[in-house]
Every structure is written in C-alpha cells, then in structure tokens.
Homo-oligomer: A and B are copies of this chain.
Amino acid sequence: MILSKLREDALNIYKAGLQAVDPHAAILKHCSRQGDLFLVSNKKYNLGGFKNIYVVGAGKAGAAMATAIEEILPDEITEGAINVKYGHLAPLKKIKIHEAGHPVPDEAGVSGTQKIMSILNQAKEDDLVICLISGGGSALLPLPAAGISLKEKQDLTGKLLACGADITEINTVRKHISQIKGGQFARLAAPARLITLILSDVVGDPLNSIASGPSVPDSSTFQQVLNIFKKYNLESDISDTIKQHIQNGLTGKISETPKPGDSIFNKTQNVIIANNFQAVSAAKQKAEALGYNSMILSSAIEGETREVAKIHTAIAKEIAASGNPVKAPACVISGGETTVTLQGNGKGGRNQEFVLAAALNLACLDSVVILSAGTDGTDGPTDAAGAICDGQTITRAEKSNLDAEKHLNENNAYPFFEALNDLVKTGPTNTNVMDLRIILVGVA
C-alpha cells in the first residue's frame, strides 16, 4: 500500500477519535431535555422541582461543556461559574468564566474557586448543582484549607514529589489540605442535589482521582497524612500552618473528608461523559470503515514512553511477519498516557517521543505508519498534538542530516519532526482524554 494513503488514513482515524470526545457533543449525548424533564444518563430530574440551578466546575473542557448545558437549560440556570485554562474560552450567557493557571495553579484560580464557593453557599435543599469536571480540574480548582497559602500547598506537593511519594500518597495529602478535593465539594453543595459530569483524563476513570475526586467519597485520613510525613521524614520540613491543620484534623476540630456511606452522597450522581475508551472505540470504528482489520489493544496504557514504543513496534512487526494479532491491512489502536524520564533539555512531548522511538525501532519496515497524539492538541510544552512516522522516516531523516537517536536521547523530538514536516497539529481541541496511538500496517 502507498505510504501517503496510510498516513492520510492514520490522521483520519485520529480525528474520528477526537470527534467522539468533543465535550459539547459528549454533554449532548448524556444529557437531554424532554419538556420539564432533565435526563442525565439513566436518571430523570423534574426541573419544576428545583428552585435554582447552579452550574459550576473546572477544567480545560469547561467552556465547551458549559455551552452545551446552557443549550439544554437555556432559561433554567440561575447562576454559574467555571474555571478554565487561560485562553480556553467560549461565549456563554449565564455562566461566568474565570481564566486561571494550569498546570501550576495561581491566585486567579483561587479567586475563581472562591466565586464557585459563594455560589455553593447559596445552594439549598431544593436546588440543583451541576458540576462540570474535566482534565486540569485539580489545578484549576485550588482552594487550600483555611489559613494555608497556595504557595505552602505547592511547596509541600513539590517536597512529596522530590522524596519519591507515589500519586496515591500525594493525593491523600492534597485532599486533606484542601477545601474542595476528596468529596468536600459534594459537602459544600449539600443539601442541594448534585450532578457531576466528568470528562475523564485518568487511566481507568477512577472517580476519586479525576480532579482529585471533588464529588465522591474519600477513604483516606488525616492519620494517613501524618504517616506519610513520617515515612518521608518530612515532619520538620512542614510549615506550622499545615502542621496545625493536620493536628486539628487528628483531634477532630476539623472534619475529615466525607467517607463512603456519608448521607450527602445520597443526592449525588456522577457521570463519565467521555473518556479515552470512547476515543479509541470511535477510532476503531473509523479504521474498520476504511477497510482495516482493527483492534483496540488497551485504553489503559501507561509506562516509560520509549519502552511502550518498543512493544507497539513489536506488534507491527508481528503483523507484517505473520498476520498476528490481526491480518494486514491492520489497525491497532491504544490509549492512555505514558511518561517520559527526561534525559535532555530538548523540545517535545510524550507523543512525539513515542513516534521518534517507534521510527527508530521500525527500521525499514515497509507499509507501516505510526501516529501518536494527545487529545488536547498540546503535547508537552509544544504547539503540536503529536507526530507521525513510517518505515522510511529514518532514511528521510538521514538524507536531511537529522540524527534520530541524538534527538531521542535529548528528548528533542519536536525539531526532528518539524524538519520532516511530520508534526500532527490540531490547535487547542478543548478536550482531554489523554492520548491516542494508531498503528497501521498495509498489505506489503
């Protein structure tokens, strides 16, 4: 098969995946209106039963999600406020947008969150709160516990990262020095009814991790926080304010995060409106429509990027050699999010690095195209979503005096693919369900 056709197909398969997780479309797919009824997934709400409807939330897809909610409830929304990443805007009528810092939270985020808090403070028994959560929601919804500054909170997270605490430990601490995370948002919304619509950017869609689980029960405790401080010998390193806060939690002066079984969760509904699996499923559907024998490998791929690339190319080689696990013309799709252990100071992102590593492993394997790109349009700190390569990429690079191995070793995939015109650019997509990787193997 002609490489240019495979490349075109790979891009179209990726775009089909993107479309399936468009936040606006995802809201309309899960929420609708039948007269006075508001239908959310498998539940029905009588709009006449609510005095006020408030819309709040945070995340990169916030504006697009809010637009859809305003379309469904054009006259019913009392008031609303959402925090989004700088520049991630959309025209809204009732819901106020606050731009804020991401991935590093800033004071604009805190002031936006305070606005959200003031709305929640008004919410009563017969009100409805709709909460819109998407990727970046944790950094974009910062509200340290009373007395703790944003900087203190960030310093502590930095120290935990530096001493090798794992993500579960970091989240346990974060939930206990926040006013929002770990189910506390649900407590603030109570006694109103709470519907949380979630665009998942975490592998496996664990509700207690996405945006630090603002509206679901939390099983972690102040005691565990203390144990984590002890484990990493951080006790002397922690500010007095945080120390006092944890102490107050241990003695019961400050409430624990809401635990499983707490009655506040009787009036909550959490709905994943889009996730990585939907993107890979739509990509698979498109690939099948284009005539490829298609397979979803997994939507939960994690690990060191160049190692993950090795396995993807091993699968491509097996398809070419023996027709396993699927016969050519074949499409293998995977999702999830890999990590990069930095070795150099180059420009790139995990998707571009994946494609560069894959290109090196492909050698001169004909009729193979590999694409990897994020669904948010921004791979690492670059303006590309990802990159695309084929079995001839390294040969083409050598002709242009581009040293692929050197670029990989320096985490410098962007200039490599820029020079070859092989970056995948989408612009901001206003969504984020992690990454898509597409392997196409044509008939040799």
Binding site for B on A (CB under 8 A): 203-204, 277, 295-304, 307-308, 310-311, 314-315, 317-318, 321-322, 324-325, 336
Contact = CB atoms under 8 A, between A and B. Distances in A.
Contacts of A300: 314, 317-318, 321
B302 A304 contact: no
Most chain B CB within a 10 A radius of its CB, from A296, A301, A310: A310
Contact of A307 (B297, B303, B318): B303
Given A311-B308, A317-B204, A336-B314, A325 B297 contact: yes
Nearest to A323: B296
A302 B310 contact: yes
A280 to B, nearest CB: 8
Residue with the highest number of chain B CB atoms closer than 10 Å, among A203, A296, A298, A308: A298
B310 A298 contact: no
The 6 A-B pairs with the shortest beta carbon distances in the complex, nearest first, are A307-B307, A298-B318, A296-B324, A303-B310, A298-B314, A300-B314
Nearest to A316: B298
Contacts of A318: 296-300
The A contact surface, by secondary structure, is mixed
12 contacts: A203-B314, A204-B321, A295-B325, A296-B324, A297-B318, A297-B324, A297-B325, A298-B317, A300-B314, A301-B310, A304-B307, A307-B307
A1 B330 CA distance: 32
A204 B324 CA distance: 14
A403 B324 CA distance: 37
Contact of A295 (B302, B317, B324, B336): B324
A303 B297 contact: no
Choose among A300, A308, A336 the residue with the greatest number of B CB atoms under 10 Å from its CB. Answer: A300
A439 to B, nearest CB: 11
Nearest to A322: B277
Contacts of A324: 295-299
Nearest to A312: B311
Nearest to A315: B298
Contacts of A321: 204, 277, 300
A318 B307 CA distance: 19
Copies in the complex: 2
Contact of A315 (B203, B277, B297, B310): B297
A301 B203 CA distance: 23
Nearest to A325: B295
Nearest to A305: B307
Contacts of A325: 295-298, 325
Nearest to A277: B322
Nearest to A296: B324
Contacts of A304: 304, 307
B303 A322 contact: no
A322 B297 CA distance: 11
Given A203-B314, A301-B314, 5 more contacts: A298-B317, A298-B318, A302-B310, A304-B307, A311-B311
A404 B307 CA distance: 23
A325 to B, nearest CB: 5
Contacts of A297: 315, 318, 324-325
A315 B296 CA distance: 9
A307 B304 CA distance: 7
Nearest to A295: B325
Contacts of A310: 301-303
Given A307-B307, A307-B308, A302 B314 contact: yes
A130 B303 CA distance: 46
A362 B310 CA distance: 22
Nearest to A313: B300
A10 to B, nearest CB: 19
A296 B322 CA distance: 10
A325 B321 CA distance: 20
Contacts of A299: 318, 322, 324
B295 A301 contact: no
Contact of A298 (B204, B307, B311, B336): B311
A153 to B, nearest CB: 28
A316 to B, nearest CB: 9
